[in-house]
Amino acid sequence: MFNKILIANRGEIALRVIRACREMGIRSVAVYSEADELSLHTKFADEAVCIGPGPSKDSYLNTQAILTAAEVTNADAIHPGYGFLAENADFADMCSSHNIEFIGPDGRMIEAMGDKASAKATMKAAGVPVIPGSEGILSSAKEAEKLAAEMGFPVILKATAGGGGRGMRVVYRPEDLANLYSMAQIESGSAFGNDGLYLEKYIENPRHIEVQLLGDKFGNVYSLGERECSIQRRHQKLLEETPSPVVSEALRLEMGEAAVAGAKRVNYVGAGTIEFLLDKHGDFYFMEMNTRIQVEHTISEEVTGVDIVKRQIECHAGLKLPDWLSKIRLRGHSIECRINAEDPAKDFQPSPMFIENVHFPGGKGVRVDSHIYAGYQIPPYYDSMLAKLIVHGQDREEALARMLGALREFIIEGPKTTIPFHIQLLENSEIQQGKFDTHFLDSFRFDPERDDES
Ligand code: MV4
């Protein structure tokens, strides 16, 4: 097992990894920016090293400073958390050339899954259902027009270097294709330094459902069930739940087996996620593979009882995953609300203020993963998530009621937060009935006047 892990991240995920290390008897090293000197990851890790000024590019993205911190503290592994360097192939390579285990896949795997057209081809070869479309990268707008005419409209153009919703264009009419093709090509060339595009049939009103995976270095890969992640705004998830209200036991088995087959095909090691689109006929298709621990891993932990971060660390240390992971059953229902320092009345404008006062909700089945405290100044440089509020109940109804109660108990004084938005969302009858898709928030209206939280 590792002796010491450096955590190349901040906020709640840095705390999450520090706690896992502590329970495993592994020493932890925090790295922090000048803006995070008073943050909890700096305080709670066994050691802490300042790696530069506030802006991410000078600190949490500063690969040289992070590797130097790992060398001077004698860390034998680096956990990247999510975001920042978590899916940076060059950084994974740098770690391995410094003989430091990167707690994530190797650089080749990150590249293979980061190129969306190549990831799709790999999954197709493994027998995972993929969305009908071009075989790899398009060579011209003409080729796209020909294919789209055969498939029928609407279609979607996607940047192979994109992902997470960046660099996509939906095309409803043949006469728009050539223009949208040029726009997408220029945009992805300048945004990603790669202008490769591929084409797919556009699936209208799908659900976003992802499968949590764990793989060890002995070729074992296990599914920890799905997460329903359709409640998103501009490709940012706001609420996640498991199990999905629309996934039957048979569909869960099918999606889990497809995801495991895809991950086994690439000898996947560690924690990973395969994202699927589920259409209104109940057919699912591979979308992307995320080669990192995700924000919403917590809800899978609640229903499986598995500590995903501890198992992820063990996998990278070369330990075998226990066989019983093939037989786990999902217990009850779990929901996560992302509490962000954003004003839902002002288009979710960031609100990086001083935390005057905070009170976390509690009680049975309530978990808060957060780095904030009374007197904490939110730095303006990073993402706006303040806390993850996670509940677990015997069934969906109990989980929903528990979440509403916990949201109403949650006090954060200082910044505007997404708490009142979540309350109104969970009071919505379509949400309560599980009737929603990835476009739900496009038409959902938050009422800023109604700030009675009960
Ligand atoms: C799609 C799609 C419909 N049809 N592909 C958005 C994020 C990126 N991973 C792929 N995305 C989509 N790809 C086809 N062929 C709809 C989306 C999409 C979406 C997917 C998941 C969650 C939210 C979304 C919001 C808008 C569009």
pLDDT of residue 165: 78
At 273, which amino acid appears?
Answer: T
Mean pLDDT of the chain: 97
**Which tens digits make up the pLDDT trace of 385-419?**
999 999 999 999 999 999 999 999 999 999 999 99
Q: What is the pLDDT of residue 64?
A: 98
To 10 degrees, what angle do helices 116-125 and 107-114 make?
100
pLDDT at 452 > cutoff 70:
no
pLDDT for 166 equals 82
* Residue 56: per-residue pLDDT: 98
Q: Ligand 1: which of 130, 134, 156 to mutate, most ligand atoms within 8 Å of CB?
A: 156
Which protein residue has the closest C-alpha to ligand 1 atom 16? 203
Give the separation between CA 57 and CA 159, rounded to whole angstroms: 24
Mutate to test the pocket of ligand 1, among 87, 274, 277, 437 (most ligand atoms within 8 A of CB): 277
Q: Is 192 exposed, middle or buried (0-12, 13-18, 19+ CB in 10 A)?
A: middle
- Going from the C-alpha of 405 to that of each of 358, 398, 402, the distances in angstroms are 16, 11, 5
- For the ranges 161-165, 283-287, 377-381, the lowest mean pLDDT is seen at 161-165
User: What is the separation of C-alpha 56 from the centre of its chain, rounded to a whole number of angstroms?
Assistant: 19
**pLDDT tens digit string along 221-254?**
999 999 999 999 999 999 999 999 999 999 999 9
Q: Is the pLDDT of residue 79 over 90?
A: yes
Structural domains in the chain plus CATH codes: 4-103 (3.40.50.20), 132-201 (3.30.1490.20), 207-443 (3.30.470.20)
Amino acid at 251: L
Distance from C-alpha of 123 to C-alpha of 132, rounded to nearest angstrom: 13
Number of helices (H), then strands (E), belonging to the chain: the values are 15, 20
CA distance 138 to 200: 11
3-state secondary structure of 270: strand
Going by pLDDT thresholds of 50, 70 and 90, the confidence category of residue 286 is very high
User: Under a CB-based contact definition with an 8 Å cutoff, are residues 113 and 82 in contact?
Assistant: no
**154 preceded by a cis bond (ω within 30 of 0):** yes
The first and second tokens of residue 6, run together, are 């450096």
Q: Determine the distance separating the centroid of ligand 1 and the alpha carbon of 439, expressed in angstroms.
A: 10
Q: Is 108 one of the annotated active-site residues of the chain?
A: no
- Catalytic position from the list 10, 252, 292, 367: 292
Confidence of residue 167 (pLDDT cuts 50, 70, 90): confident
Neighbours of 174 (CB within 10 A): 12
Tally of CA atoms within 13 A in the half-sphere of 438 that contains its CB: 19
CB 273 within 8 A of CB 213: yes
Burial of 186 (0-12, 13-18, 19+ CB in 10 A): exposed
DSSP line for 378-400: PPTTS--EEEEEEEEESSHHHHH
Nearest to 274 by CA among 236, 344, 227, 218: 227
Is residue 118 classed as helix, strand or coil in its secondary structure? Answer: helix
pLDDT of 454 above 90: no
- Model confidence pLDDT, tens digit, residues 179-230: 999 999 999 999 999 999 999 999 999 999 999 999 999 999 999 999 999 9
pLDDT in tens, 299-358: 999 999 999 999 999 999 999 999 999 999 999 999 999 999 999 999 999 999 999 999
Confidence of residue 453 (pLDDT cuts 50, 70, 90): low
State the CB neighbour count (10 A cutoff) for residue 366.
Answer: 19
> How many A from CA of 420 to the centre of ligand 1?
27
User: CB within 8 A of 317, min separation 6: which ones?
Assistant: 1, 2, 77, 101
Q: What are the residues whose beta carbons fall under 8 Å from the beta carbon of 205, sequence distance 6 or more?
A: 280, 437, 438, 439
Pocket of ligand 1 (CB under 6 A): 131, 156, 163-165, 200-203, 206, 208, 232, 235, 277, 287-288, 438
